[in-house]
Homo-oligomer: A and B are copies of this chain.
């Protein structure tokens, strides 16, 4: 089976895992549950749960304990999109070709759907304790929960969102340091959560988990810089969205600040370092390496 086929098969399996943890749409909360599922069920690459599961496998993990965390991380990713699209935030009406949650269900329901997904994520992850059969296992789950909270929260993704809306509104001046802060927090933090939690739950050493954190930071930042590069070098046909929008909107990005060549060089450096880390452990996961390459070298 080639990489694309394997990725497709794995994506389908992950979607079945997530589906298990979505609430049934019934009772007085029916509309809320519909609004929550509307976002989570929209098709995507399920990148974060996939990176989590593959990191878990890299360190020899094979049990179900990873599943509630995979579902939880996808819920957190989706709640952040639902709230990010709100009129009070980015005011986006479409995402992946579908109406956004607030357009479909109203603003109040979109606020509650996001809250509901964030809360359900932690409720779901906390449910993983049912798989713990001894004190050491429950300690790994506790550690995974804390990584999830930390990377999704004010020192992680929410912190990045905050800096991003302040920069876009002009309340905070954009600097190179701030660009990297936003990339690291807004994008890389959930990728770090994915890869660190996978490693922790498989029983990896603290030193290995630290290296996964570093690899994931590189992957997340490279992914974002590649986004900015494509905005300059790609065509609207390939990208499926308007190109050149960063320059038009006078948006300061790593590319507009450093030029295209330096940006490409940085993507190369970050990804080589990340792959070097992934290949430095006792076991290998070739699919994980291929997935990382496909993310960073993508053309759309």
Q: Which of A38-46, A112-120, A245-253, A259-267 contacts its partner?
A: A112-120
CB distance from A129 to the nearest CB of B (A): 4
Give chain B residues whose Cβ lies under 8 Å from the Cβ of A126.
142, 145-146, 149
Interface residues contributed by chain A, number (CB under 8 Å)? 58
**Is the C-beta of A83 less than 8 angstroms from some C-beta in chain B?**
yes
Chain A interface, >50% SS class: helix
Binding site for B on A (CB under 8 A): 23, 27-29, 31-33, 36, 79, 83, 86-89, 106-112, 114-116, 118-120, 122-123, 126-127, 129, 132, 134-135, 138-139, 141-142, 145-146, 149-150, 152-155, 158-159, 161-163, 165-166, 171-172, 178, 181
**Partner of A115 from B36, B83, B134, B163 at Cβ < 8 Å:** B83
Contact partner of A89 (CB less than 8 A), chosen from B29, B111, B161, B166, is B111
| Given A28-B159, A123-B149, A115:B118 Cβ within 8 A | yes
Known A-B contacts A115-B118, A118-B118; the reply to A123 vs B138 at CB < 8 A is: no
- Best-buried of A28, A32, A36, A152 by chain B (most CB within 10 Å): A28
With A and B bound together, what is the CA distance between A146 and B127 in angstroms? 7
Residues of chain B within 8 A (CB-CB) of A172 are: 28
For the complex, what is the distance from the CA of A153 to the CA of B79, rounded to whole Å?
14
* CB nearest to A159 among chain B residues: B29
Indicate if the CB atoms of A158 and B32 lie closer than 8 Å: yes
- 23 of the cross-chain contacts (CB-CB < 8 Å) are A28-B172, A29-B159, A29-B163, A32-B158, A32-B162, A83-B111, A83-B112, A88-B107, A89-B111, A108-B165, A109-B162, A109-B165, A119-B154, A120-B154, A122-B145, A122-B149, A123-B146, A123-B153, A126-B145, A127-B146, A132-B142, A135-B135, A135-B138
